[in-house]
Amino acid sequence: MIYLDNAATTKPDSRAFSRAQEYLTEKWQNPSGLYREGFSLQGELKKARSFLLSRIADESAYTLVFTSCGTESDNQSMFGYGRRGNVVTTAGEHAAILSSVTELKNRGIAEVRFAPLNPDGSVDERALLSLVDEKTSLVSVIHVNNETGAINDVNALARAVKEKNPRVVFHSDGVQAYGKIPFRLGKEIDLYSVSAHKIGGLKGTGALVRRKSLPVRPYIFGGGQESGERSGTENLFGIKMFEYAAEEKFRTLAEDYQRLGKVREEFWERLDRESFVRISSRDSSPYILSISAPGLRGEVLLHMADDRGLIVGTGSACSSNAKNRYSRVILACGKDERTADGVLRLSFSPSTTAKELSQASSIFNQIARELRERMG
């Protein structure tokens, strides 16, 4: 099997699992317990929190609260800080942001404004800034687009937004960026969402990075865990797995970034230009390549590839149950429905090899020819 749907989820890292296993079988007690074992586990939580945060931010200025996933982190940001006036975001956001801001609008809490996209899926920066005014309470811009891999310069955008309205809370969904692209949070970013299972951790574990000077606004209430920021007994096994998986990722982050960029371009060069067009730009994340076979159904190609042992996606897995036939993000990039219908998203991991991509390109070329021949 060749697995190229890593933007949806990654295989759990075996070394991280081996290290974290003791928190499932031996050190399984409640980290919030007042007994000796619980107090010891609080120290393990602190170590994980410090490591995960220190990779991208200044610990003196930011803190990190553990959540169940990137979606929860996004929801906490939108419902916690989108409280008045208007909320500005982009047409290329993950469904966790789109659905949340739509709910803010439906509840009459805030007006929602969407900035258009460039052809590669990045946000039109000038258009975004034009939507920010004195009544804007929250701006959310995805760091790496989960369908095209386009990288938004969220540090520069946050600075520009704060220059226009210093009271704005700036959030970024960093789920496809954390542990994958070289980056550190600039001081103008207030909130940043991350997820474990995108980098070899477990599903059910995520985190929200928050600037310390920003008021705490919990989304889940209960026992007051996570210093009152997110109630619920901490998933210590998942959190330690997140920490250890991140250690593996950050150790080779720069090398992986360069290598995957090269093998991605080699893969693209092998594809039949009569069948495929490219949507992702060359300066997008090397972990994602979005292509299209105009006139063919991406879903049909996906199943044909699956029959040959190649697993890919057609876009965001979190939007796979949507009623619309075409990806809203791809349409927002200015692509026509014929192109949007044929979209395939290939997403890589550090374990993806050049040999696998060579085999994948052959499979794609073959199934595209077969399908076009069937269609006459």
**Catalytic-labelled residue, pool 318, 331, 366, 372:** 318
Largest CA distance in the chain: 72
pLDDT at 251: 97
Report the SS3 class of residue 123: strand
pLDDT at 303: 96
pLDDT at 322: 52
pLDDT at 157: 98
pLDDT at 219: 87
* Count of Cβ atoms closer than 10 Å to residue 230 Cβ: 24
State both tokens at 141: 């811009």
Q: Average pLDDT across each block of 10 residues of the chain; the chain has 376 residues. List them in order.
A: 97 96 86 72 92 97 97 97 95 97 96 98 98 98 98 98 98 98 97 98 97 91 83 91 98 97 96 96 97 95 96 69 79 96 96 94 95 82
State both tokens at 215: 């008021």
> Where is 346: in which H helix or E strand?
strand 343-347
Residue carrying the six token digits 């800080």: 81
69 is a catalytic site residue: no
Secondary structure (DSSP) of 256-314: HHHHHHHHHHHHHHHS-TTT-EE-S-TTS-TTEEEEE-TTS-HHHHHHHHHHTTEE-BS
Give the bridge partners for 104, in sequence order.
none
- Burial classification of residue 151, based on how many CB atoms lie within 10 Å of its CB (0-12 exposed, 13-18 middle, 19 or more buried): buried
Give the C-alpha distances (Å, rounded to integers) separating 325 from 94, 320, 342. Answer: 17, 10, 11
pLDDT at 316: 52
**Residue 53 contacts residue 44 (beta carbons within 8 Å):** no
pLDDT at 227: 80
Helical residues (DSSP H) of the chain, grouped into ranges: 14-20, 22-25, 36-54, 70-81, 95-106, 125-131, 154-164, 236-251, 253-270, 298-307, 328-332, 337-341, 354-375
Residue carrying the six token digits 């170590």: 47
pLDDT at 376: 66
